Amino acid sequence: MKIYRFVPKVLGLIIVLSVLLGVLAGCAVPTAPPEAPQVAEPEKEPTIGYIAAGTEYYYQCQESGIRKKAEELGVELLVLNSEGKADKELSNMEDMISKGVDMILMMTTNAAAGQKALQLANTANIPVILVGINVEPGEGKPVSLIDFDFADMGRAAGEWVAANVPDGEVAIIEGLAGMGVAEPITQGFEEKLAANPNLTIVAKQPADWSRQKAQDIATNLMQSHPNLKVIYGHNDDMSMGIIKAVEDAGKSGQIMVVSDNASPEGVEAIKAGTLVGSVAQSPAVDEGERAVVLAVDYLNGKTIPEHERENLFFLSEDNIDKAMPWCYE
C-alpha cells in the first residue's frame, strides 16, 4: 500500500524536468551554417623572356629547345633577338623589363654588353639565367649559368688532331671575336696541339660564324699555305663553307676539316667522310630545354645550380652512334 503514495510525487518530478528541458532547448544558441569552401584562384602561368644572340642556325636550335620545353611545361614565352648587336641586346633587356616578365633567359652576343644587360635586370629584380655564354665579371649576377668550357671544346679537337695527324701545317678559322667564345676555343686547341711538335699553326682568322666568310677565308688560306694538312673551324656551319672551299680547290682527301658542335649537317658530313670529326654538344637539349627546366624550378622556389656544365666529346665515324638531338624543327 505504501508504494502508491510515491507515484504522484514521481510523476510530478518527471513533468517538471520535461518542462525545464524544453525551455533549455528553446534557449540554445543557434548554430551558424557552414561556410562554403574557399576556391583557390588559378595560378598565373609564368612568363619567361628569352633574348637570343643572333639568327644563325645554332641560335635557332637553342631557341627550338626553349620553345619545345616551354610548351611542355605550360610556360608563356616571349622571344626577342639581338641579331649579334650589343646595343640591341641592351634594348631587348629594357623591353623585357618593361613587359614585366617573371624570368629572363639570355645568350649574350657580347660579354661586356651582357654584363650591362644583367645589371639592368638585377635592378628590376628580375632573375636571369645565362644560356651558353657567360658575361664578363661585374656587379650584374645571374641566378644560374648553363655553359660548357669553350677551352675544353678546343682541347677536345686539338687532342684528336695531335693524336691522329703526324705532322704538317694547321689553320684555324674562328668565330666572332669579343663574345668570349672564339678566344678560349683557340686557346684550348693550341694547348692540346702542342703535344705534337710536328704540327704548326700557320694562320688564325675570324669568320664571324659565317659560312660564306669561312669559305672565302679557307680559299685564301689554301693559296697562301699550299701545304695545309688541317683546317679547324669553330662550328659546323663555317666548316661546311670550309669543306666547299677544299672541294673546289681539288684538295679533298689532302686537307682534313675538323669542327665543333656536331650539328645534323656536321653529323651527315662525318658519315660522308668530308668532315673527320666534330666536338659534340646540343644547343637544343643541353642549353634550350635545360634552361627552361631550371627557370621553372627557380620560379617554384626550388634551389637550382649556380653553374651547370655541358658534357663535350669528340664525335667521329668511330662513335657516330652517340650523336645527340641537336635541333627541333
161 and 143 housed in the same domain = no
The percentage of the chain sitting over the pLDDT mark of 70, rounded to a whole number, equals 87
139 and 172 housed in the same domain = no
Query: Over 90: is that where the pLDDT of 145 sits?
Result: yes
Q: How far is CA 141 from CA 81, 82, 114, 119, 128, in A?
A: 21, 20, 11, 7, 8
Q: Are residues 65 and 325 in contact, defined by beta-carbon separation less than 8 angstroms?
A: no
Q: Tell me which residue of 118, 243, 239, 131 sits closest to 181, measured CA to CA.
A: 131
> From CA 165, how far away is CA 184, in angstroms rounded?
22
> From CA 327, how far away is CA 68, in angstroms rounded?
10
Least confident interval from 13-22, 96-105, 185-194, 300-309: 13-22
Domain that holds residue 105: 47-147+283-310
| Final residue belonging to a domain, choices 237, 258, 280 | 280
Query: Over 80: is that where the pLDDT of 4 sits?
Result: no
Summarize pLDDT for 31-50 with one digit per residue, the tens.
444 443 443 343 568 999 99
Domain count, the chain: 2
Q: What is the pLDDT of residue 329?
A: 78
Query: Over 80: is that where the pLDDT of 21 sits?
Result: no
Query: How is residue 44 written as a grid cell?
Result: 598565373
Q: Is residue 165 part of a domain?
A: yes
Q: Is residue 124 part of a domain?
A: yes
> From CA 62, how far away is CA 129, in angstroms rounded?
14
Q: Which helix (H) or strand (E) holds 126?
A: none
Contacts (Cβ under 8 Å, ≥6 apart) of 178: 110, 111, 112
Q: Is residue 101 part of a domain?
A: yes
Q: Is residue 324 part of a domain?
A: no
How many other C-beta atoms are found inside a 10 Å radius of the C-beta of residue 169? 18
Q: What is the pLDDT of residue 311?
A: 83
Q: Is residue 4 part of a domain?
A: no
Summarize pLDDT for 193-246 with one digit per residue, the tens.
999 999 999 999 999 999 999 999 999 999 999 999 999 999 999 999 999 999
158 and 188 housed in the same domain = yes
Strand order in the sheet with 76-81: 76-81, 47-52, 103-106, 128-132, 144-147, 307-309
Q: Is residue 211 part of a domain?
A: yes
CATH number for the domain spanning 192: value is 3.40.50.2300
Summarize pLDDT for 90-132 with one digit per residue, the tens.
999 999 999 999 999 999 998 899 999 999 999 999 999 999 9
DSSP state of 284: I
Q: Is residue 328 part of a domain?
A: no
Q: Where are the alpha helices (DSSP H) in the chain?
A: 7-27, 57-72, 86-98, 111-123, 150-164, 182-193, 211-224, 236-248, 264-272, 290-299
Mean pLDDT of the 174-189 span: 92
Model pTM? 0.68
Residue 154's φ and ψ, nearest 5 degrees, are -65, -40
If you average pLDDT over every residue of the chain, what do you get?
Answer: 88
Q: Are residues 103 and 50 in contact, defined by beta-carbon separation less than 8 angstroms?
A: no
Least confident interval from 52-61, 68-77, 116-125: 52-61
How many other C-beta atoms are found inside a 10 Å radius of the C-beta of residue 149? 14
115 and 157 housed in the same domain = no
Query: How is residue 143 written as a grid cell?
Result: 641566378
> From CA 106, how far away is CA 76, in angstroms rounded?
16
Q: What is the pLDDT of residue 45?
A: 82
